[in-house]
A and B are shown apart, each in its own frame.
Chain A
Amino acid sequence: MPDLLTHYTAAYFLTRSSAFLRFRAVFYFGTILPDIISRPVYILFPKLAVYTVAMHTPVFLFILCLFLTELFHKEIKENVRNYLFMGVLLHLILDLLQKHHVGGYFWFFPFSWKTFEIGLFWPDTPLQLTPVWISLILMTEGIYYMKKRKGV
């Protein structure tokens, strides 16, 4: 996985427009969801890593999104579900671009254990861009703030 800052930055720039304001947080949540449900277990309790095998797969995440959507008020359920799905999809697309030395992602779990990746970069490569991501977000927020102050 790329780091969560990279995932967040991608989600941020896709939904920074005010048109997405209402459900932007749900989209962000979707984009970090695959990692926040599995990686803490993997890192803090590595012996339990085998229990997280399913958690980063499209089928599991699809069901998890449906489960989480059920926790929202019925009037906003449809929007929440769509934004969650889109967020998760963005996460998986970024993960698909990576390469791993061993292992990979089980896109067709539980039907197949085959892994596939496009292999453009190592998981830790985007870390080098951390200052760039932070600067871009701060600059964008600065521009929006100035525009708001000027009433544009």
Chain B
Amino acid sequence: MSLRVRLINNGRQFRIVVLLTYFIAMLLLIFYGKNFYPAITLEMCLNQPERYDGSQIDIGTEITVDKIYQDGFTIKQFGHIVKVKGRAENMEPGDFITLSVVFHKDGWLELKSYHIAKKRRFKIAVSIFPALLVIYLLLKSFSFDFKRFVFEERH
């Protein structure tokens, strides 16, 4: 094997090692984030109500208002419907909200504070167009060479 071919092969192997190293580092960070995230979630409280009785929790992952009552409202998250007791204004069923609440072991939440993200759906819709535009612009400027597994500039 000529020196040139050997150098090219070594370069390719080195590149694979570099890519794998970055990939593994990212995976480790993702799993560290998943396993050591210190927040108490609503799901954890509902699974172990005795343990988390009286805990103050902040919840905000895809929570929507289900129904409104005189003394509070119900929220929906991951298929769970949970009662929240407390005064809330300008809230409508279907609104996305974030909550700061105290969990009670008999399955209800005491409202401390909340924020309604009224325009969340619009925000998602508005975000799709620039994302598609940027990907189009990127593919207009660069093409992928599958043989060499690299992006190259289009001329």
Contacts and interface: CB of A to CB of B under 8 A. Distances in A.
B26 A67 contact: yes
Contacts, number: 148
Contacts of B151: 71-73, 80
Contacts of A32: 130-131, 134
Q: Do most interface residues of chain A lie in helix, strand or loop, or is the interface mixed?
A: helix
Q: How large is the interface on B (under 10, 10 to 19, 20 to 34, 35 or more residues)?
A: 35 or more
A102 B58 contact: yes
Contact of B129 (A5, A46, A50, A101): A5
Contacts of B133: 8
Given A25-B138, A67-B19, A53 B34 contact: yes
Contacts of A46: 61-62, 77-78
Interface string B69-83: 000000001100000
A124 B23 contact: no
Interface residues of A, number: 52
B18 A51 contact: no
Interface of B: 15, 18-19, 22-23, 25-26, 29-30, 32-34, 36-39, 41, 58-62, 77-78, 98-100, 113-115, 117-120, 122-124, 126-131, 133-135, 137-138, 140-142, 149-153
